[in-house]
Amino acid sequence: MRIGFNPNKDQITKKSDYLHQIIIPVFIPHFEGYFKDSLVILKLCLQSLFNTVHNKTFITIVNNGSCNEIKNYLDELHNNKKIHEIIHTENIGKLNAILKGLAGNNIELVTISDSDVLFLDGWQQETIKIFSHLPKVGVVGIVPQFGMYKVNSSNVLFDSFFSSRLKFIRVKNNEALVSFYDSIGWKRDYNPNYLEYVLGFEVDSSLSVLVGSGHFVATYKKDIFSQIVSNIPFKMGGISEQYLDELPLKKDYWRVTTYDNYAYHLGNTWEEWMDAFINKSNKTEVNNIFGNFPINSKCSTFRYVMKNKIFKKILFNSLVLRYFYKLKQLPKSMIKKY
C-alpha cells in the first residue's frame, strides 16, 4: 500500500541549465570487417566533442544495440560524467534511436551527429553565431558539400531569388571539401568547378553561409521536433533520412552550412592523421554566446507546396537554372559546366 504523499507530485520541472544538446546514436555490433576500427573511431569522435564544447552542453549517447565492450565503454564515460545521458536499446534503427534521445529534453538547440565525426575547434561558436544572425535558419551543418542548395533548400532560393546577398562565392576550404569526398569513397573524377564556387548567402560583411545542409552532423532548433512520429520502420535509409531532412521545411526553416569546414568525416577506418588532429585540440569554455532564436509557426500547406514542390520544379529546369546561375554571379566560363 502507499503511505504518505509523494513530495514530487504536481511539482513543475525547472528549466534546464543546459543550452545545447548533442545526440549521437552508436551501433557497433562487433569488431570485425566493416567495424574493425569502430571503437577507435568512436573514441576519436567523442574526445573531439569533449574538447570543443562549452560547459553548458548536454551530451546524449544512444547505444543502438552495440556489443558489450561498447556498452561498458559508454557506461564508464557516463559514470565519469563525461556524458550526461546514456540510453541502451536493442538495434531499433538509427532514426528511432535519435528520437529516443530527443524525448524528455527541452534544450533550445540540438546537434544530431553520426559517431564517426571529428569535431573541430570553433564549430559550436560558429553554429550559434549563424542562428543568432539569421532568424530564418532552423538547421546549421558544419561540413560544406557539393550542390547542397539542390536538396531541401528550395524555400531559401524562393525567399532570396532576387536578393543580392544570395550569390555564388569562392569555396573557402577546398582541401577539406576534397577530404570529405575521399572519406565517403568517391573517386576524384567529379566536376572540378565544384571545388571553386559554391552558392552562399552573405549575412553581413563578416558572416556568410552556404545554402543547404547535409545530415550526418547538423544542429537544429528544438521546436522542429515539437511533433514527431514515434517510430520509423527502417534501420537505416528508406524514408528515415528524408523524414529528418524535410521536417524543418514544415516550419519554413532554412537549411544552411558554415562557410568554413568545422568537422571531418572519419569513416570506418583509422588513419594516422586523426590522432595528431586530436592532440591539437584544446578544451575551451564558452560563455554568454547564446542569443534569442525566433521560432517559426507551422508553414501553411500552400506555402510549403509552392516553395518546396512547384518552385523547385520551375527552378531546376535547365533554361531557368542557367538564368539563375547568371543572376547569382557564377562566372560565365562555368555556367555551362556547373
Model pLDDT for residues 298-307, shown as the tens digit of each residue: 889 999 999 9
pLDDT exceeding 70 applies to what percent of the chain?
88
CA distances from residue 280 to 6, 41, 42, 179, 273 in whole angstroms, order as listed? 51, 17, 18, 19, 11
Cβ atoms < 10 Å from Cβ of 322: 14
Q: Is 70 exposed, middle or buried (0-12, 13-18, 19+ CB in 10 A)?
A: buried
Grid coordinates representing 258?
558554415
**Model-level pTM?**
0.92
- Measured at the alpha carbon of residue 305, what is the angle toward residues 302 and 309, in degrees to the nearest 5? 160
Which pLDDT belongs to residue 9? 60
Report the pLDDT value the prediction gives residue 294, as an integer from 0 to 100.
Answer: 82
Cell numbers placing 113? 551527429
Residue 315: partners with Cβ closer than 8 Å, 6 or more residues away: 154, 157, 321, 324
User: pLDDT (tens digit, 9 = 90+) per residue, 13-45?
Assistant: 566 789 999 999 999 999 999 999 999 999 999
pLDDT of residue 7: 61
pLDDT for position 325: 96
Q: How many CB atoms lie within 10 A of CB 75?
A: 14
Over residues 176-190, the pLDDT tens digits come to 999 999 999 999 999
d(CA 98, CA 78): 18
In three state form, how does the secondary structure of the chain look?
A: CCCCCCCCCCCCCCCCCCCEEEEEEECCCCCCHHHCCHHHHHHHHHHHHHHHCCCCEEEEEEEECCCHHHHHHHHHHHHCCCCCEEEEECCCCHHHHHHHHHCCCCCCEEEEECCCEEECCCHHHHHHHHHHHCCCEEEEECCCCCCHHHCCCHHHHHHHCCCCCEEEEECCCHHHHHHHHHHCCCCCCCCHHHHCEEEEEEEECCEEEEECCCCCEEEEEHHHHCCCCCCCCCCCCCCHHHHHHHHHHHHCCEEEEECCCCEEECCCCCCHHHHHHHHHCCCCCCCCCCCCCCCCCCCCHHHHHHHHHHHHHHHCCHHHHHHHHHHCCCCHHHHCCC
d(CA 315, CA 317): 5
- Asked if 38 contacts 55 with a C-beta cutoff of 8 angstroms, the reply is no
- What gap in Å lies between CA 150 and CA 245, rounded to an integer? 13
- Cell numbers at residue 338, please? 556547373
Res 235: pLDDT: 46
pLDDT at 309 (0 to 100): 94
Q: What pairs with residue 118 in β-bridges?
A: 264
What is the spatial distance between Cα 47 and Cα 123, in angstroms, rounded to a whole number?
14
Q: Which residue ranges form the domains of the chain, and what is each CATH number?
A: 20-163+209-299 (3.90.550.10)
Backbone angles phi, psi at 254, to 5 degrees: -80, 145
**If you average pLDDT over every residue of the chain, what do you get?**
89
Per the CB < 8 A criterion, the answer to whether 52 and 284 are in contact is yes
pLDDT for 286 = 54
For 137, list phi and psi in degrees, rounded to 5: -75, 135
Q: pLDDT digit of tens for each residue in the chain (338 aa)?
A: 767 666 656 555 566 789 999 999 999 999 999 999 999 999 999 999 999 999 999 999 999 999 999 999 999 999 999 999 999 999 998 888 999 999 878 899 999 999 999 999 999 999 999 999 999 999 999 999 999 999 999 999 999 999 999 999 999 999 999 999 999 999 999 999 999 999 999 999 899 999 999 989 999 999 998 876 655 554 444 455 677 888 999 999 999 999 999 999 999 999 988 888 776 655 555 555 566 788 888 889 999 999 999 999 999 999 999 999 999 999 998 988 88
